[in-house]
Amino acid sequence: MVTAASISATQSARRSTLFADYKELVKPRVTLMVMITAAAGFYLGCLRSGISPFNTQFLEAMIGMAVVTAGSGTLNQVIERRTDAMMPRTASRPMAAERISFAHGLILGMLCIVLGSAFLAVTTNLITSMLTLLTAISYVAIYTPLKRISMVATFVGAFPGALPPLIGWTAARGFIEWPAVALFAILFVWQFPHFEAIGWLYRADYAKAGIRVTAVAKPGGVATAAQALFYAVVMIPVSLWPVYLGTAGWIYGVIAIVLGLAYLWYTLKFVRITRDLPPAESRKIARDLLKISVIYLPLLLAAMMLNAQGRIFF
Ligand code: HEM
Ligand SMILES: CC(C)=CCC/C(C)=C/CC/C(C)=C/COP(=O)(O)OP(=O)(O)O
């Protein structure tokens, strides 16, 4: 018998499934990291202006960027619904598993990008709104389709990936300056060990779906390891650029060197993928590098913020 209670239970189950699907669509962990990097840019920009970073402009900029980032993640999954369905890591995503329809995902993603960018234009400034829109477009319309065409895609994807802290800076300052470019460079370089580890970890998945990451296009691991290693070495001088610019002090510099050496250490261990290791061991060293990459970045940015312009803490 269909009772009011059973109808209400079904509706509530549907609502919680939809909520869980929306959560998955916005890629919460990546979005959170994007917000952390943008917040760092905003914070440092405010200190450069000599104003407190704890203001309503901060909240407005974060909300606008989070909504656009969420929309970008959604449209990425709309476009990749077929390839996502081929890979165990992504097969249960709401678009891939067809729990959310094409039109539903498309409208939701577009709405988030348009409304988030408009919100930024009204509350923050035009350059921040335009750069955020450009970031979303380059991620969705250039990087995402390119993944199936060329391994250059990851290099291209590193541009939208690196823009959020620069955008955080423009939200505070209204224009692009050298410290913002330094933040962009740090993020840009950081991504290579991060995604080469992921590419190696999921190379079988990527090959199945026809996605041309380095580990698929050049099997054996030499090119994958060489790229990760090159950028992990470059990471150390690039992370010191804010010290040269006076954006952060020497204490940050020391911490950046220590963190950079740790990132380099795990990347050096990753180079062992080129040997004939048991698959479980090879996966472990790639997973360790991925983990260290997502620990390294917030720690580096936190050190930069705490020692901003040579001050200690706030
Ligand atoms: C071309 C650039 C990038 C590529 C190809 C890439 C790819 C990926 C992939 C496929 C995962 C999922 C790994 C898994 O499920 O095990 C991932 C995880 C992640 N990525 Fe990236 N990413 C890139 C750049 C970025 C950027 C710019 C950020 C943020 C600033 C970021 C933050 C994260 C975080 C926080 C995770 C979650 C790690 C975890 O679950 O432990 N990524 N990335
Ligand atoms: C402000 C704003 C709009 C920021 C957006 C920037 C952004 C989302 C960068 C992510 C970088 C990136 C290339 C991630 C990998 O996606 P993937 O498609 O390779 O990951 P997947 O395989 O898990 O789908």
Is the domain of 160 the same as that of 254? no
Examine the domain organization and report whether 140 and 187 are in the same domain.
Answer: no
> Which of 159, 176, 193 marks a domain boundary?
176
Question: Are residues 183 and 311 located together in one domain of the fold?
Answer: yes
- pLDDT at 312 (0 to 100): 82
Find all residues with CB under 8 Å of 173, minimum gap 6, and list them.
Answer: 45, 48, 49, 180
Ligand 1 atom closest to Cα of residue 199: 10
Average pLDDT, the chain: 95
Domain membership flag for residue 86:
yes
Residue nearest to atom 10 of ligand 2 (CA): 161
| CATH number (domain holding residue 71) | 1.10.357.140
- Whether residue 229 sits in one domain with residue 87: no
> How many residues would you count in the chain?
314
Positive or negative torsion for Cα 247, 253, 258, 263: positive
Residues 206 and 261 in one domain: yes
Per-residue pLDDT reduced to its tens digit, 218-236: 999 999 999 999 999 999 9
Q: Is residue 143, in this structure, part of any structural domain at all? A: yes
- Name the residue among 130, 117, 127, 125 with its Cα closest to residue 65: 117
Tens of pLDDT, residue by residue over 72-109, are 999 999 999 999 999 999 999 999 999 999 999 999 99
Q: What is the average pLDDT across 29-54?
A: 96
Q: 262 lies in which domain range? A: 177-314
Q: Give yes or no: residues 115 and 162 share one domain.
A: yes
Domain stops at, among 158, 176, 194: 176
Number of domains in the chain: 2
Contact 263, 295 (CB under 8 A): no
b/e for 196-209, b at 16 or more Cβ within 10 A?
Answer: bbbbbbbbebbbeb
Encode pLDDT of 106-139 as tens digits.
Answer: 999 999 999 999 999 999 999 999 999 999 999 9
Asked whether residue 31 falls in the same domain as residue 168, the answer is yes
Is 131 contained in some domain? yes
What's the gap in Å between 297 CA and the centre of ligand 1?
A: 12
Residue 73 belongs to some domain of the structure: yes
Question: In sequence order, which ranges of the chain are alpha helices (DSSP H)?
Answer: 4-25, 28-49, 56-79, 81-86, 102-123, 126-137, 144-146, 152-173, 178-201, 203-209, 214-217, 222-239, 241-244, 250-270, 279-306
Pocket test for ligand 2, best of 25, 117, 143 (most atoms within 8 A of CB): 143
Confidence of residue 14 (pLDDT cuts 50, 70, 90): confident
- Whether this prediction's pTM lies above 0.90 is answered by yes
Q: Between 11 and 304, name the one with better pLDDT.
A: 304
The answer to whether residue 147 is domain-embedded is yes
Domain match, 201 and 60 both: no
Classify residue 4: in a domain, yes or no: no
d(CA 205, CA 296): 26
Considering only CA atoms, which residue is closest to atom 36 of ligand 1? 30
User: Which protein residue's CA is at the shortest distance from atom 19 of ligand 2?
Assistant: 144
58 and 199 assigned to the same domain = no
Query: Which ligand 1 atom sits closest to the C-alpha of 155?
Result: 1
Residues 204, 95 within the same domain: no
* 154 and 185 part of one domain: no
Q: How many CB atoms lie within 10 A of CB 284?
A: 14
Residue 2 lies in a domain: no
Query: What residues flank ligand 1, with Cβ below 6 Å?
Result: 29-30, 33-34, 37, 89, 154, 157-158, 161, 191, 194-195, 198, 294
In the prediction, which pLDDT does 19 show?
A: 92
Phi-psi label, residue 277: left if phi above 0, alpha if psi -120 to 50, beta otherwise = beta
Nearest to 165 by CA among 309, 45, 292: 45
Q: Does 128 fall in a domain?
A: yes
Work out the number of other CB atoms within 10 angstroms of the CB of residue 261. Answer: 12
Neighbour-count burial of 250, counting CB atoms closer than 10 A to its CB (0-12 exposed, 13-18 middle, 19+ buried): exposed
- Of the three residues 142, 176, 210, the one that is the final residue of a domain is 176
Q: Is residue 125 domain-shared with residue 87, that is, in the same domain?
A: yes
CA distance 169 to 48: 10
